[in-house]
Amino acid sequence: MTTPRHDWTRAEILALAARPFSDLLYDAQTVLRAHHDPHAIQKSRLLNIKTGGCAENCGYCSQSAFVKTGLVNSKLMAVEDVLDEARRAKAEGAERFCMGAAWRELKDRDLPAIVDMVKGVKALGLESCMTLGMLTQAQADALAGAGLDYYNHNLDTGPEYYPTVVSTRTYQERLDTLEACRRSGINLCCGGILGMGERPEDRADLMVELAKLDPHPESVPINRLVPIPGTPLGDSAPIDGLDFVRWLAVARIVFPQSVVRIADGRETMSEELQALCLLAGANSLFIGDKLLTTANPGEARDERLFGAMGIA
């Protein structure tokens, strides 16, 4: 159970998710302790470096040009402004600085500024991560040459349910960008979103597809959908908290050597639910009071949680 596998099946993962809750969490903790420090949490900060106007129609996203959510669009931030935010993030305890732009794909005209951002973040002693939509191989190579540590490009859900959520970009196009990053030597940050109306089978299929990647993504973010009014998924019922914990535990077992992150959705979780997520094997989260366009718990709540759990 502690050796990475690339041949997981839907049936195996569904059976894993259906185990008694205490047994599932015990197994996830066992895997966590075999590969990671159970008392350490990787703290990342996420910055929206270009807001809104995206040509994709992802049903969960307020930055899509297809929806009206009251979001104010903005152009790509200046490099020095981004680095000021990175300095602030480091001073507040972040280890990784993640930068996201609401683009369908990176344009070559913006590549020099993106490269300078990566170099500047690296010079500050932070791990760097970018999410910029689809990449060509040449763009991935340029980002790797700048020293980019991670590229985030989520699969979102299983391939059967995916067209219900997004129709402007195919599943294979997502996989192609991941492959370009792999060929260039960039680590992958790749996961999905739970609570979009998908079936347990779709969640299992997401895990299967992620597990096929060889090696596994070094970082696996698991998002809890934050329904945003005005988006196609804005009226979605929230996923049950204990169900979310179950799937975090499944992710920890399926991806034993990966960092598993509680990503979007923490703001609406109680401290007790967040503690269960960490006990289920999550060992990374975003700090700060905002993600791309949604709220995050903020420093005071996080410090209270970390202190109660004895987490560094």
98 catalytic per annotation: yes
277 catalytic per annotation: no
48: left (phi over 0), alpha (psi -120 to 50) or beta: beta
What's the pLDDT tens digit per position in 75-131?
A: 999 999 999 999 999 998 899 999 999 999 999 999 999 999 999 999 999 999 999
* Contact of 105 with 95, CB cutoff 8 Å: no
* Contact of 284 with 44, CB cutoff 8 Å: yes
| pLDDT surpassing 80 at residue 254 | yes
Question: Does 162 reside within a domain?
Answer: yes
Question: Does 3 reside within a domain?
Answer: no
| pLDDT surpassing 90 at residue 290 | no
**Cα–Cα distance between 288 and 44 in angstroms, integer?**
9
Domain that holds residue 64: 10-305
Q: Which residue has the higher pLDDT, 288 or 242?
A: 242
What's the pLDDT tens digit per position in 139-193?
A: 999 999 999 999 999 999 999 999 999 999 999 999 999 999 999 999 999 999 9
165: left (phi over 0), alpha (psi -120 to 50) or beta: alpha
Among residues 45, 96, 129, 181, the one annotated as catalytic is 129
The pLDDT mean for the chain works out to: 93
181 catalytic per annotation: no
**Cα–Cα distance between 216 and 207 in angstroms, integer?**
11
| pLDDT surpassing 80 at residue 296 | no
Residue 283 corresponds to which tokens in the numbers above? Answer: 């060992």
Among residues 45, 96, 98, 277, the one annotated as catalytic is 98
Among residues 45, 169, 174, 189, the one annotated as catalytic is 189
Nearest to 98, CA basis, from 120, 125, 75, 130: 130
Question: Does 77 reside within a domain?
Answer: yes
What pLDDT is recorded for position 43? 92
Among residues 45, 61, 224, 246, the one annotated as catalytic is 61
54 catalytic per annotation: yes
In SS3 terms, 74-121 reads as CCCCCHHHHHHHHHHHHHCCCCEEEEEECCCECCHHHHHHHHHHHHHH
Among residues 54, 181, 190, 277, the one annotated as catalytic is 54
Question: Does 210 reside within a domain?
Answer: yes
**Cα–Cα distance between 156 and 171 in angstroms, integer?**
9
What pLDDT is recorded for position 312? 66
What pLDDT is recorded for position 306? 80
| pLDDT surpassing 70 at residue 277 | yes
Question: Does 58 reside within a domain?
Answer: yes
| CATH code, 39 | 3.20.20.70
| pLDDT surpassing 70 at residue 293 | no
Question: Does 114 reside within a domain?
Answer: yes
What's the pLDDT tens digit per position in 15-33?
A: 999 999 999 999 999 999 9
Lowest mean pLDDT among 27-31, 227-231, 279-283: 227-231
189 catalytic per annotation: yes
Number of domains into which the chain is organized:
1
What pLDDT is recorded for position 301? 80
Among residues 58, 181, 190, 277, the one annotated as catalytic is 58
What's the pLDDT tens digit per position in 187-213?
A: 999 999 999 999 999 999 999 999 999
What pLDDT is recorded for position 267? 84
Question: Does 5 reside within a domain?
Answer: no
Question: Does 205 reside within a domain?
Answer: yes
Strand partners, 192: 156, 222
Among residues 174, 261, 266, 277, the one annotated as catalytic is 261
What pLDDT is recorded for position 17? 98
